[in-house]
Structures are given as structure tokens and as C-alpha cells.
């Protein structure tokens, strides 16, 4: 019985981890991009981009400076 419970717990952890992986996408910074502009595209015209700026910075352990060619993890706009 304990073996079954251990396997169930392990598979539950894998599913949770897989869901977290699907919750982000990767973006390669282009010349002229700023964290603010990237966040504006994610947020859309009517939304406030500030939460996206914070989320992108947190996902990438960034201070907010981006350079062309840099890969950023982006939150999904769900």
C-alpha cells in the first residue's frame, strides 16, 4: 500500500511540474526591445503592463535590463 501511495505522489509531482513548464514561453529579445514593450505586447492594448514587467523580471531573475539575443521566459497571458 505504501508503494502505491509513493508512486501516486511522485506522479502528481511530475504533473504539477509539467503544468508549470506549460505556463511559460520563451522569447528572444530583438534590437529595440525593452522589458516594458515586451510586457505591453503580452498585456494587450487595454491592460496595464506593469504586472507583466514584474512577472518577466521575476521569472528571469532580472533587474529589467534586456539585450538583443537574450532569451526570456515569459508568463502566459491567461
Three-class DSSP category at 3: helix
Distance in angstroms (rounded) separating the CA atoms of residues 78 and 62 = 22
Q: Is residue 7, in this structure, part of any structural domain at all?
A: no
Q: Are 20 and 75 in contact (CB under 8 A)?
A: no
Q: Tens-of-pLDDT digits for all 78 residues of the chain?
A: 544 444 444 444 444 444 444 567 999 999 999 999 999 999 998 899 999 999 999 999 988 899 999 999 999 855
Q: How many domains does the chain have?
A: 1
Supply the CATH number for residue 74's domain. Answer: 3.10.350.10
What is d(CA 70, CA 4) in angstroms, rounded to the nearest whole number?
Answer: 44
Q: Could you tell me the residue range of the domain that residue 32 belongs to?
A: 24-78
Residue 46 lies in a domain: yes
**What cell does 51 get?**
504586472
Question: Does residue 45 lie within any of the structural domains?
Answer: yes
Q: What single string gives the DSSP state of each residue in 20-55?
A: HHHTEEEEE--TT--HHHHHHHHH-TTS-SHHHHHH
Amino acid at each position: 500500500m505504501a508503494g502505491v501511495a509513493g508512486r501516486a505522489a511522485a506522479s502528481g509531482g511530475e504533473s504539477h511540474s509539467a503544468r508549470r513548464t506549460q505556463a511559460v514561453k520563451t522569447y528572444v529579445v530583438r534590437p529595440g526591445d525593452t522589458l516594458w514593450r515586451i510586457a505591453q505586447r503580452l498585456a494587450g492594448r487595454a491592460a496595464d503592463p506593469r504586472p507583466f514587467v514584474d512577472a518577466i523580471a521575476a521569472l528571469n531573475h532580472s533587474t529589467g535590463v534586456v539585450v538583443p539575443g537574450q532569451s526570456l521566459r515569459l508568463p502566459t497571458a491567461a
